[in-house]
Amino acid sequence: MKNEEAIREVYLNPKQLAFIKSPAKNKDIIGGRGSGKTGLIGVHNFQKFRFLPGARSGLAALTFGQLLNNTLPSMEELWKAHGLKEHTDHEPGHYVVGKRPPEHWMKCNNRPKKFDTTITFINGYTIQMISVDRIDTVRGLSLDALDVDEKGWVKQEDYDKVLAPLVRANKYRSYSGHYLHKSKCGFSSMPWLAKQHWILRAEELAVKDPEKYFYIEATAEDNIKVLGEEYLEEARMSLPNIIFMVEYMNMRPKRVSNAFYPAFDDEKHCDAFTYTYDKSDAGLWLAKDSDVQRNKPLELSWDFNVAFTSLLVCQEHIYSGYRELRVCNELYIEEAKGNLVEDLCYKFIDEYRNHPNRDIFIHGDRNGNSKNAGSNETFYEQITRILSAAGFNVYNQVEGLDGALKKRYFLINRILGEQEKGMPRVRINQNKCKFLPISIQMAGMVGDFQKDKRSEKGSGDQKKATHLSDCFDNILWRKYSNYMGVEIERWEAGVC
């Protein structure tokens, strides 16, 4: 009996097929959720496996976690459809992940010394996984090709100066005449933030030189044969229109017309230069967060929800003439092994257990002071207990009511506007806080200065919903509400 998987047809939607068939050296696809762009990386690398035996190709993403948990599973699903399977000690296969391949396999032409971040195939084709948050570790690599998953999250400078120049392998290889050799391909979602728009330059390049550059956009509808009508309709009904149109239909986002944060400017309020480097005892360069002062306390701002609990790690810095709140990190739990709040506490402890200043100030909304179902503790009591056991001194700053919606709205936008002398200002670590700026930028306003919270309902990506922006609101109000000395009506009228 024939192996059913070995003879199974692999369906490609029209946009995927156009990408695969293009002989251009530089190819980019910007696709909505469900459009099949991640699976396309698997098909594309299967092509390189076939036509570039012994080659070494790069696969870059923001973190190794993204590669291993999101990108690789989709790739492997497509490889399986093509008849490939992972090699194990008990069953022979066609590739290994993160370990040395069998010695009798064909060798890679530019064989790595270590295999912990590689995927090696039986014919020597090797995928070198690259974590962009450790970009300096790949300088000096020589690659035959490069793919970048979620290219929009990569800084343009890192791509132009570090990643793209890695594609420089020997032009005299046996496969050097194939169009896949020295190819550079990008796979990304539609950019939400202004600083991500650099990836759209690929469209202009493809118009100017279509033989060298290929650019295509895809939507979930392009992949409807795989997704089914119900999948798309459920997303359409459960999400605010702006999120559905950007995330699924690949619409280029514009600022929401009735924004809750009209004074927010991602180019001003987001800071990319948040790393400094020290040498270890072994002589290795180690990245450190330059926006976390070791002698100062940390401040955590929480938001509690049944399916998504989040916090922002902040620290106030004092400069000559003004205070600056640094939003240093965003942490969240989507699926908990036990309790969402407890799991998020342990996630924070894992990352900040060695912070020298042991004082922690807690911010959030007043509901955290109420006892939650099935527990004798409030959320803030849980947080205090767990962080105290880890050696922190915890100070709950949540007292009284949360503040009138109109007051919160005007205070936050006065701070973001940076037009008043003596007001604090805010800077967000864009390397650690990927989703907070999106949560802020896409938050609309309904009714009497109420934030539009519909993005928190349904099956949409909760990292881009309003949860993280609620954390943002909570610390700004709790920490700086004393700056409401100027009457709202005067500020609203433009007098102040």
CA dihedral of residues 348, 353, 358, 359 (deg, nearest 10): 0
Q: What is the pLDDT of residue 487?
A: 42
Taking only the tens place, the pLDDT of each residue in 288-320 is 677 899 999 999 999 998 889 999 999 999 988
pLDDT of residue 322: 84
pLDDT digits (tens, 9 = 90+) for 385-407: 999 999 999 999 998 767 678 88
For residue 432, the model assigns a pLDDT of 87
Burial tier of 424 (Cβ tally within 10 Å: 0-12, 13-18, 19+)? middle
Report the pLDDT value the prediction gives residue 373, as an integer from 0 to 100. 67
Q: How far apart are CA 443 and CA 166, in angstroms?
A: 39
Those residues whose C-beta lies under 8 Å from the C-beta of residue 349, and which sit 6 or more positions away, are 386, 387, 390
Residue % of the chain over a pLDDT of 90: 52
The amino acid present at 424, given as its one-letter code, is: P
Question: Tell me, what's the pLDDT at 485?
Answer: 60
Domains and CATH numbers, the chain: 5-238 (3.40.50.300), 266-492 (3.30.420.280)
- Which is more confidently placed, 196 or 179? 179
Q: Which residue has the higher pLDDT, 64 or 414?
A: 414
Q: How many other C-beta atoms lie within 10 A of the C-beta of residue 242?
A: 18
What's residue 217's pLDDT? 95
- Nearest C-alpha neighbor of 169 from the set 130, 141, 129, 128: 141
Per-residue pLDDT tens digits for 136-163: 778 778 999 999 999 988 888 889 999 9
Q: What is the C-alpha to C-alpha distance for residues 75 and 42, in angstroms, rounded to an integer?
A: 4
Q: Give the model's pLDDT for residue 234.
A: 87
49-84 pLDDT, tens digit per residue, is 999 999 999 999 987 878 888 899 999 999 999 999
What is the β-pairing status of strands 298-303 and 309-319? antiparallel
Closest CA to 216 of 458, 492, 13: 13
Write out the two tokens for 1: 């009996």
What does pLDDT average to over the chain?
Answer: 86
Angle 360-364-366 (CA atoms, 0-180°, nearest 5)? 125
**The pLDDT of residue 47:** 95
